[in-house]
Amino acid sequence: MPMIDRSTLYVTPDGRPMNTQEQLALLLDIGGIDAAEAAALTGATRLSIETYRKPSFKRAVPAAIIMVLEDHVLARLARIAQAAGYELRPRA
Please indicate, yes or no, if residue 39 is contained in any of the structural domains: yes
Specify the number of domains making up the chain.
1
The 10 Å Cβ neighbour count of residue 74 is 18
CATH number assigned to the domain comprising residue 69? 1.10.260
Please indicate, yes or no, if residue 92 is contained in any of the structural domains: no
Domain span holding position 27: 6-83
Please indicate, yes or no, if residue 91 is contained in any of the structural domains: no
Please indicate, yes or no, if residue 41 is contained in any of the structural domains: yes
Mean pLDDT to the nearest integer, 68-84: 93
Q: Which residues of 20-49 are buried (b: 16+ CB within 10 A; e: fewer)?
A: bbbbbbbbbeebebebebbbebbebeeebb
Name the DSSP class of 62: -
Please indicate, yes or no, if residue 18 is contained in any of the structural domains: yes
pLDDT one-digit tens code per residue, 2-57: 566 777 889 999 999 999 999 999 999 999 999 999 999 999 999 999 999 988 88
Please indicate, yes or no, if residue 16 is contained in any of the structural domains: yes
Please indicate, yes or no, if residue 55 is contained in any of the structural domains: yes
d(CA 62, CA 49): 11
Which of left, alpha, beta for 15 (phi over 0: left; psi -120 to 50: alpha)? left
**Single pTM value for the model:** 0.86
